[in-house]
Amino acid sequence: MTDACDALAWVRSKLPYVERARQDVQLDADRVTAIGFSSGGHLAMTPAYTAPERGLKPPGSVLAFYCPSNFEAEWWKSPIYPKNVHESPDTEYNLREGIHDTPVDSNPELPDSILQIVGYTPSAAIGAPMTLKDPRWRIVIHYNWKAQIVPLLVNGLSTKARGTANDADANIADYLESLSMPPAKDIQAVSPYVQIIQGWYRTPIFLVHGDRDDLIPWEQSRDSVEALVAQGIEAGFTAPHKAGHAFDLWPAEDTQGTGWAAVKRAVQSLLYYQ
């Protein structure tokens, strides 16, 4: 969330002045839209209320796809078994392989802070279903299967969770299956829906969320938009019929072809907001 706010600050103060190959393309720092997908959609929503806390102008609008927005919901307290995971929940796996304190690659031309992000090579192409064979997917799958999304989102992975070469895998696994739920105020700080209800969220938004999403409830997007509209803030919502999570990446999640029609409607609405 801090990175998202930093990016907004850079876009407003630096991006318009960066040398560009196309000088005829003008960038307007006063017309900024935050866009994101899934967890990135959640991040796109957050500068609407985190930016003013830092004295920054929030985005002019937000476009988010199939994203979580209410982490106080009961949904996160029970195991989630996405159908796109290749393996069964009783499959054994080692979480430590995808957890690092230092960059996992080396490139003298890049700073370590960048390598921590881009020094990772996925085991499958973008759009591939979730699999335990990929170290990072393994973490995502784990916190869904074990109902640990909220503790990990708020508190991250501690040194104890990372373990050492001498630690027993079973002890680490047990620890990562029983993380305590954070205090309510910390959960509310990462929940756009709560910020909307409390009146701290004033940014126009359009949310797209398939009504067959088994990873993140589409009702969260609907409720967020309804709460904004009730406060007189421009907001739109569309739920493409029988579209699942990441319908724009996974063809099997948009068998009815309703997803892209919803995307077109969302973009058109976004232009209206601006």
pLDDT of the residue at 210: 97
Instruction: Please work out, in degrees rounded to the nearest 5, the angle formed at the alpha carbon of residue 4 by the alpha carbons of 177 and 228.
Output: 90
Q: Residue 166: its pLDDT value, please?
A: 47
Query: What was the pLDDT predicted at 165?
Result: 45
What are the strands of the beta sheet with 205-208, ordered from one edge? 33-37, 61-65, 205-208, 235-238
Neighbours of 27 (CB within 10 A): 12
DSSP letter string, 132-171: TTSHHHHHHHHHHHTT-HHHHHHH---HHHH--TTS-HHH
Q: Whole-model pTM?
A: 0.86
What residue ranges do the domains of the chain occupy?
A: 2-70+191-273, 74-176
- Residue 45 in tokens: 């929503």
Q: Which fold has domain 2-70+191-273?
A: Rossmann fold (3.40.50)
pLDDT at site 213: 96
pLDDT along the chain (274 residues), means of 10: 95 92 89 95 97 95 97 96 90 78 56 51 63 86 93 77 52 75 95 97 96 96 98 95 92 90 86 67
